[in-house]
């Protein structure tokens, strides 16, 4: 009887691990399935619908587009040039204080370390863009051209019988395109002014340098 009891105990002891292993096996399988499901969920690509893609796209306002377009056009834009134009006799011989104004302006620019920004243009090509102005100017014509609008306005007040305007050009060379010509004026028989009469060719320092090279 004692032997039977011991044998039964041994059988129970041996059977116990088997029953615990059988119970652990479904748990391991369940854990493995959960891990596989999580991996599949992470690896699965996220596909947005067409409407969601439109909503997710960065918004570009009309203002930002306008600013970019304006900046691009500004990069391609030329320089504004301002002018006073009249016939050559008036500009170079009759307007007595014109030479002094140009001389003073050039001296001031040199003192400030600035480049010359005005020129005397003979028979300016840009007049082709202003047919109404061209009709009113006696030929040959001479124009005072500058990039400084304020100074041109000042000179308009100082001069008489000149026409004022502005145009756009890509460079100083294009703005001062013209047809250089030689001109001389007779000396007056009686000169009573307290200052000397203009000397011939006084205007050459204010003409574009290319005029001298063309001759």
DSSP code string of 128-146: GG-HHHHHHSPSSEEEEEE
- The reported pTM is 0.64
Domain that holds residue 143: 79-185+196-214
Is the pLDDT confidence value at 124 over 50?
yes
Give domain status of residue 191, yes or no: no
Of residues 195 and 75, the one with the higher pLDDT is 195
What pLDDT is recorded for position 159? 92
Mean pLDDT to the nearest integer, 123-140: 96
Give domain status of residue 204, yes or no: yes
CATH number for the domain including 147?
3.30.70.1860
10 Å CB burial of residue 120 (0-12, 13-18, 19+) is buried
Assess contact for 145 and 119: CB atoms under 8 A.
yes
Give domain status of residue 53, yes or no: no
Give domain status of residue 62, yes or no: no
Specify the number of domains making up the chain: 1
Assess contact for 79 and 175: CB atoms under 8 A.
yes
CA dist., res. 113 & res. 115, Å (int): 7
pLDDT band at 97 (very low <50, low <70, confident <90, very high): confident
Give domain status of residue 22, yes or no: no
Give domain status of residue 28, yes or no: no
Number of H helices, E strands in the chain: 9, 4
Give domain status of residue 68, yes or no: no
Which residues, including other chains, have CB under 8 Å from residue 107's CB and lie 6 or more apart? Answer: none
Give domain status of residue 46, yes or no: no
**In degrees to the nearest 10, what's the CA dihedral of 128, 101, 172, 170?**
-60
């Amino acid at each position: 009887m004692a032997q039977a009891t011991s044998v039964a105990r041994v059988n129970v002891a041996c059977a116990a691990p088997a029953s615990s292993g059988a119970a652990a096996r479904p748990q391991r399988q369940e854990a493995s399935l959960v891990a596989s499901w999580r991996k599949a969920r992470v690896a699965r690509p996220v596909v947005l619908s067409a409407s969601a893609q439109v909503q997710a796209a960065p918004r570009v306002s009309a203002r930002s587009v306008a600013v970019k377009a304006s900046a691009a056009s500004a990069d391609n834009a030329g320089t504004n040039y301002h002018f006073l134009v009249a016939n050559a006799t008036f500009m170079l011989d009759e307007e007595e204080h014109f030479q002094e104004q140009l001389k003073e302006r050039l001296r001031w620019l040199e003192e400030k370390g600035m480049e010359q920004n005005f020129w005397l243009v003979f028979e300016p090509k840009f007049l082709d863009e202003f047919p109404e102005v061209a009709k009113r100017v006696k030929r040959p014509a001479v124009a005072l051209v500058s990039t400084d609008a304020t100074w041109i306005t000042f000179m308009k007040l100082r001069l008489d019988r000149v026409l004022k305007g502005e145009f756009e050009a890509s460079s100083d060379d294009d703005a001062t395109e013209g047809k250089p010509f030689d001109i001389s004026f007779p000396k007056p028989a009686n000169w009573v002014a307290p200052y000397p009469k203009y000397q011939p060719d006084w205007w050459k320092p204010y003409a574009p340098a290319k005029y001298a090279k063309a001759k």
